[in-house]
Amino acid sequence: MRNTKTMTIVFLMIIALFTAACGSEPAAESDGKLQVVTTIGQVTDVVRNVGGELVAVDGLMGAGTDPHLYVASASEVDLLQNADVIFYNGLFLEAQMEEILEQIGENKPSIPVSKQIDSARLLDSEDYEDEFDPHIWFDVTLWQETVKQVRDTLSDVDPDNAATYASNADAYLAELDQLHTYVLEQVAQIPAEKRVIITAHDAFRYFGSAYGFEVMGLQGISTATEASTGDVQALADFIAENEIPAIFVESSVPIRNVEAVQAAVQDRGFNVEIGGELFSDAMGDDGTPEGTYIGMVRHNIDTIVTALAGE
Ligand SMILES: [Zn+2]
């Protein structure tokens, strides 16, 4: 009897030691949290909202970063290789990183958040044949699909916490419903003929189709090709002829091209304002309202309304 009891205690102690060893092994640097690496801030924010306390997220691309041109450094490749899960936008947004993201994806989940979006909802790329326009976060209802993708992937990787991921996702989706309604209400303040958005690069086409704007970018869908003098002149003609009140700067694209357009419009005897800075491919600084997806969308629509609804 005594022997059995002793053996049971020893056995339990071994189990306890073994469990402690297992538990501390992959989670040594992470308090047991799932280690997630992401690319653009918009994706980082979705993962923070769905993963909550259960994940530690490293976002590679901060404020002002252009994802079309971004190349991962050696230490970032290490970070990707050590992650439990990787999320990126996909649709060839991270053009210089797509190969490594796919390659690492052979050994672990490396998932484009755009993966389960029905291609019928996607716009064709004007720059790359056989690619879609990657700027899907500009239509809030389309971006909601990425929340579901993140929920599903985290639940596959960490099924014990699937209920938490599901309830976090539901709560965030409800916030995004409200955000979509807010954008529609703001847009209603702009007279229909003034709903034209001209920016440095062609990032706003989903915004245009979701919320009823004509959109024009000086550079194409990617920033990889420079705008030509002819592009500047053609855009200046359009602005002067249609008396467009304002054009916009983007936080992740140098201001000089937009200023060149403004000067060319002035040469035509018309004054176009720079209507402010919009967050297109990068969000604002961490810790500011614009450093979240919801804050970025609100900032953009508020800036657009102020610039275009006047008079
Ligand atoms: Zn872009």
Looking at residue 17, its pLDDT comes to 46
Q: What is the mean pLDDT of the chain?
A: 91
Is 169 within 8 Å of 50 (Cβ atoms)? yes
pLDDT tens track for 29-48: 568 899 999 999 999 999 99
Mean pLDDT score, 108-130: 93
Return the residue matching tokens 């709903």.
Answer: 195
| Gap from CA of 279 to ligand 1 centroid (Å) | 10
Could you tell me the residue ranges of all domains in the chain?
Answer: 12-183, 186-308
| Gap from CA of 91 to ligand 1 centroid (Å) | 11
Nearest to 204 by CA among 174, 183, 185: 183
What is the pLDDT confidence band of residue 310, given thresholds at 50, 70 and 90?
confident
Residue 217's H or E segment, with its range, is strand 214-219
Contact partners, residue 14, CB within 8 Å, separation at least 6: none
Burial class for 45, CB neighbours closer than 10 Å (0-12, 13-18, 19+): buried
Is 289 within 8 Å of 234 (Cβ atoms)? no
Q: How far apart are CA 144 and CA 118, in angstroms?
A: 13
| Gap from CA of 224 to ligand 1 centroid (Å) | 9
| Gap from CA of 295 to ligand 1 centroid (Å) | 19
Residue 283 carries which DSSP code?
-
| Gap from CA of 221 to ligand 1 centroid (Å) | 6
Q: How far apart are CA 51 and CA 154, in angstroms?
A: 8
How large a percentage of the chain has pLDDT more than 70? 90
Q: How far apart are CA 132 and CA 123, in angstroms?
A: 6
How large a percentage of the chain has pLDDT more than 90? 79
Phi, psi dihedrals of residue 235, rounded to the nearest 5°: -70, -40
Is 190 within 8 Å of 208 (Cβ atoms)? no
| Gap from CA of 223 to ligand 1 centroid (Å) | 6
pTM of this structure: 0.88
| Gap from CA of 34 to ligand 1 centroid (Å) | 29
| Gap from CA of 50 to ligand 1 centroid (Å) | 25
**Which two three-digit tokens encode residue 167?**
């309830």
Q: How far apart are CA 194 and CA 243, in angstroms?
A: 9
Helix axes 41-51, 293-308, angle to 10 degrees: 130
| Gap from CA of 94 to ligand 1 centroid (Å) | 10
Looking at residue 84, its pLDDT comes to 98
Residue 112's H or E segment, with its range, is strand 110-112
Residue 85 three-state SS: strand
Answer yes or no: is pLDDT of 20 > 70.
no
Residues linked to residue 250 through DSSP beta bridges, in sequence order: 278
| Gap from CA of 282 to ligand 1 centroid (Å) | 9
| Gap from CA of 206 to ligand 1 centroid (Å) | 12
pLDDT tens track for 170-221: 999 999 999 999 999 999 999 999 999 999 989 999 999 999 999 999 988 8
| Gap from CA of 135 to ligand 1 centroid (Å) | 6
What's the CATH fold of domain 12-183?
Rossmann fold (3.40.50)
| Gap from CA of 25 to ligand 1 centroid (Å) | 40
| Gap from CA of 134 to ligand 1 centroid (Å) | 7
| Gap from CA of 293 to ligand 1 centroid (Å) | 16
Is 248 within 8 Å of 241 (Cβ atoms)? no
Domain 186-308 in the same topology as domain 12-183: yes
At the second CATH level, the architecture of 186-308 is 3-Layer(aba) Sandwich (3.40)
Least confident of 51-55, 85-89, 212-216, 227-231: 227-231
Q: How far apart are CA 265 and CA 70, in angstroms?
A: 32
Residue 107 carries which DSSP code?
T
In angstroms and rounded to an integer, the radius of gyration of the C-alpha atoms of the chain is 24
Is 137 within 8 Å of 90 (Cβ atoms)? no
Q: How far apart are the first and last CA of the chain?
A: 93
